[in-house]
Structure 1
Amino acid sequence: MITLLADGREDTIEGLVLPYGTAVLGWERKPHGWCRGEACLPAFRAAAAETDEGVDLVAFAELLGRQAVADAGEGVVAVGEPAPAALDRAPEFGPLPGLRGTKVALVFWASWCGCRYDLPAWEALHRELGGHGFSVVSVSLDRDPGHAREWLEGLTHPAVVDADGRIAELYNVVNVPTVVWIDPDGRIARPQDTMTATDTFRSMNGLSSERATAALRRWVVEGESGADSRELRAPTAAERLARLHGRVAAWLLRAGRGEAAGRHLARAAELAPHDLAVRRGLMPLAGVDPFGEEYFRLREELQAAGIPIYRPLPDWQEGA
């Protein structure tokens, strides 16, 4: 038996080749092809994933534009999200559909980041600007929801924990703090930027929270985001694949299979060395202090390679 990690769920399948008559990622086989609702994959295209025994799950996922990472030896396969079709629209999850008609600051944070101390400031902005049709939605990248729980106490804005990394995948988030501005129509007003709400770690990140929050207030009240681009920065194929290796590694770590998880973490680091949401974000599950020597070695590695920790550098950087 194999655990399938896809669409925010864990399911059990008999193998990587699924017998005919079985729904595959929600798609069902019909005489003219494979269909999910009104969408259909023609039979002549689906044939590339079909065998005498059944449907090759990994090959079928690729036909749908979804990458997959399979570790048959460890009994797990992860299937990613499709490549984003519209970068100007905010991918929906959790509370977002219910906030249509409201401006949203989507705030990515984690308990393993000093940005956890910014949550009360984000809550204050949520309350201050709520009368202008504005809401904060915070997304914790903690792989263990319990690590985020204490930091969420007393908050009134919508908050979710992205334990499987799916939301970070949808928004191409490689580090925290990252903030995305979403307009009332569900379109991107400002893409993934490093943004702080306090100056607690200004000496490390060189960012002015005063400039950033002033820009946010102007957007909420006056409607001008000041952004050069209003599309999400698209992930590369390597970044997407790295996140799937990270998802498999997280599953293996929870199962106590550290050696196998290490192989997937190493592959993720090769594919996307800059993705701290994976490389640092999985340290707590591995029993590694995300504020300790391992993290500072990682910082030195990235700095030596010329890879910025906070990127892209927004217009509220000091000296901008």
Structure 2
Amino acid sequence: MGTFHELWQWHLTGIIQGIASSFVCMIPAPIILGNWFKKKTGMAVGISAAFSGLVGMIGSSFLGMAIPAFGWRVSYVAVGIVSTVLVLPISLFVLRCKPEEMGLLPYGAEDVEQRAVSDASAPASGENGITLKELLRQPEFYIAVGAYWTSVSCAYLNSFLTPCGIAAGLTLQAAAMMTSISLLGNMSSKLILGKISDSLGIIRTFEVSIALAFLGHVLLFVGSPETVMAGSLFYGVTLPLSSVMMPLFCRIFWNGETYSTAYAYSTMVGTLLGAPFNMWFGTFYDITGDYRLTIGVSAAMLIMLTFLIILEGVRLKRAKSGKSPSQAR
């Protein structure tokens, strides 16, 4: 981007980045961590996601200092070079998709095997993969797509935190701090949610995280200088809904190679459905001159997400009681 001179180049790059980010950032990490961790998967995913936020903070700080000193073109080129040097060698020569490639077992594999032996009536976990045609027949796939769509759509509100702060009466400097405060809530909640999901359970943890994110939306909606600052902290919990909770949520449905395929499709479809919200959120402000409609729509998406999580919780309870979802209907 540091060499661009035409508007179409930015548009094309935006499309490429949007597609590539799913394959580079969102999809691989949960799949690889799931292969390496059969126990404490939530903590592993949470730590991984938290460090992605930390690197983002460092990168933003670097750009903030580099652009005034060297110009945005040189700074963008430098970021591209540093990213390539850091990511490419590790991906090619260090990272392994499965521990079996190094002659190792996943962490906690022994406990999983013992539970499988002690529960002979447990259903097959679907380790051997699934086709798209088979996936489209599963109600779980549509629940996962809907959950990812709603969670990732809410995340686009993050781009409007600073304007929300200015509209609430904050100075530009104070409003700009809202993004940093949101990142603080983002990073800390990733670690906490990943940890407690291993003990509290994925469904219950998802519900708690949605409640905290909804509180952030309410505080932003009130629109006073005090509430928007606090709201940005709680809003930070919104971002881990898609990066931490959704990968764990999908593990309720699928395992092994089936998980890799199903999670990838769920993520891609959900991202495509949610992409227009970034534009729509800005359009809502242009129409009304107020960010409350944008915040309200994002909060409505959280309510839809809550319904989907509760629905799956009911399905799980019925399955444990010996009824399949179809029998329960």
Larger RCO: 1 or 2 (CA < 8 Å, sep 6+): 2
TM (norm. structure 2) is 0.24
- Specify which structure has the higher proportion of strand: 1
TM (norm. structure 1) is 0.25
